[in-house]
Structure 1
């Protein structure tokens, strides 16, 4: 499989409910019924939304409603089927729709789009207990990407989702072998294009996506600023920007982890929303892959912070992030062509990306 697809991403709270149940369960039930090719539900460590209410796992009270991110990727017709129901299920939150190239099966025969030769984000969807030569698959994937000079990669555990159209949900009394997890990698399209056949040979049933990105900073070095975007596209529909900041729990600014400083300073600056996800393994720059280890004092896991706002406010957000990542971190920017507020009255702001 090699097809242009849509990626549908929802940002909302863990305790959000709909029709007597949790919105997260209803959302993944929807994706399971429609046999979405791949989807994953991720629990955030910290964040805030449009109301600027802070949610964090550092407080017993505020951790009762942690931020969630649900990602679904499939063909354009399949995602269009679940787009409106997704918006109706969320009484609050944010839903974005972006383009992605979905790859599965034989990587040797794939014909990649032109933008693979530019800076690219590669996402690999795996099972939690999937292994490669007796090594966890996510560890093997990160090691391969690091050896091939990819700029960075972060592995994150999911708690629910679909894989090849089949629902895979985590439960307490199960090995959760098929429960999805994902590895997000960023690098030059040339390097990622060359590593795809190796990933295809490494994984039993590879399921990957490619997206276009712009690498703004790497290891503290400013490479470029986010592209200047107009407030609207050529049809007059609004455009949005997304920044992703890859750091580590051990990377500090003013005595606190950089990702926590990002959330607090962007919240104070009035940015629309930020969510931080904690990884289990990964790397950025020349640093070797790392994660939690037994008897280790202090966490050393990677962290990814996601910021979405209008172009005029992203410039202010990037100025904050630039200062906080002066010495370390990987920062990327992307264009979000369609966005909506959740809820029955929520309407799509922006157009569905063209075929």
Structure 2
């Protein structure tokens, strides 16, 4: 178990280029060369950024430039070592740093925090064609998490990344067996802690990360509002907040898929940005694990919508999310201790981690 880890996340466009390559290739080249423990490149389904330019796979003219999200997790010193290279890649977009805890090898029930009853986000990293007792690993993991009462889990398919430091890139011709996938699960602390040894027994070479979250809503029930954050720390650094909405593409709100209604209303409200990731399998609440199947008239894959903004703007975004998830969906809130936004004209924010005594980090 490695306590002092960081998660580096970048948000940008599929067609964004540096001087000599696509931004996606440039970032993943850095992770591969630096042998980052685990990283995943995810292709989004819809989203918009500071300029409010809509990207979506629903319209052909806009589907050529879908949002991309790259996520890298490793020891603090290793992430800090790649950070300057990632920052130096010319592009527009968003970069965030978050604290995490990494687990691998023999897994034991984790001491999640001084308050173990608080919810946690558990991310399990597996290969596309990794098997568990003859069945795909992501199906076996979701089945276990559902049976153990975890609040929700979503499987996200990577198209590039690193696994234990080795570059694993999807190719048109090939099995792509080791290209990384992420299973993002949310649950209360005791349940997450108890399921860790079972995951360790299920997976041959388990690799997981833990982060602290607040569960705000579950299937229409308001459980908590996003927590109020303190002002700047002793060095004048401020924290940001992230909201994640876990739902299903088959859920319709106001005549459209829930996530599309959410994106439209957030964009109209002037929110700083939002990104939708489409999963391939998952569940939330008491609903059984599900994904695309043959002979379905409507897609039922899980979707995740991510919103990041300053605390003073999160209240307005949460009011929209609260209304759009009035019947279905799992909504979480997290602290983002460092963020930098990049436009053609300027950069704002910064990637020095804010520190507050009220931080609910997993320790």
- Per the shorter chain, which TM-score range? over 0.9
**1:275 aligned partner:** 275
Shift of 1:117: 4.0
Q: Does 1:247 align with 2:247?
A: yes
Question: For the residues of structure 2 that align with 1:241 and 1:53, how far apart are their CA atoms?
Answer: 22
Aligned to 1:89: 89
Hey, what does 2:74 align to over in structure 1?
A: 74
Shift of residue 237 of structure 1? 1.3
Q: Name the residue aligned to 1:299.
A: 299
Residue 217 of structure 1 corresponds to which residue in structure 2? Answer: 217
Tell me the distance in 2 between the aligned counterparts of 1:146 and 1:109: 18
C-alpha distance 123-90 of structure 1, shift in aligned 2 (>3 A): farther
| Partner deviation per Cα, 1:142-175 (whole Å, 9 max, x = no partner) | 0000000000000010000000111000000011
Figure out how many residues of one structure are paired with residues of the other and give that number: 355
Shift of 1:348: 5.0
Moved more, 102-111 or 165-174: 102-111
Once the two structures are superposed, residues 46-78 of structure 1 have per-residue CA deviations (whole angstroms, 9 ceiling, x without a partner) of 000000000000011101100000000000000
Q: CA contact under 8 A between 2:338 and 2:354: conserved in structure 1?
A: yes
SS in 2 for 1:107: coil
Bigger shift: residues 80-89 or 297-306: 80-89
Please show how residues 168-183 of structure 1 align to structure 2 within 5 Å.
168-183=168-183
Separation in 1, partners of 2:36, 2:139: 26
| Structure 1 residue 235, shift from structure 2 partner | 3.0
Tell me how far apart the structure 1 counterparts of residues 7 and 115 of structure 2 sit (CA, whole Å): 17
Are the structure 2 counterparts of residues 39 and 242 from structure 1 closer, same or farther at C-alpha, using a change threshold of 3 Å?
same
Cα contact 1:98–1:353 (8 A) shared by 2:
no
User: 5+ unaligned residues in a row in structure 2: which ranges?
Assistant: 356-362
Q: Which residue of 2 aligns with 1:108?
A: 108
How far has the Cα of 1:255 moved from its partner? 1.7
How far apart are the structure 1 equivalents of 2:61 and 2:7? Answer: 33
Output the CA distance in 2 between the equivalents of 1:144 and 1:293. 20
TM-score normalised by L of structure 1:
0.96
Instruction: Give TM-score scaled by structure 2 length.
Output: 0.94
CA distance in 2, matches of 1:165, 1:21: 22
Task: Please give the alpha-carbon distance, in whole angstroms, between the structure 2 residues aligned to 1:126 and 1:350.
Answer: 29
Using a 3 Å threshold, how does the CA distance of structure 1 residues 209 and 90 change in structure 2: closer, same or farther?
A: farther
Give the unaligned 5+ runs of structure 1.
none
> Per-residue deviation at 1:109?
7.8
* 1:303 shift after superposition: 0.3
The residue number in structure 1 matching 2:160 is 160
Could you tell me how far 1:108 is from its partner in structure 2?
A: 3.1
CA separation in 2, counterparts of 1:247 and 1:137?
22
> Matches of 1:350 and 1:166 in 2, distance apart?
26
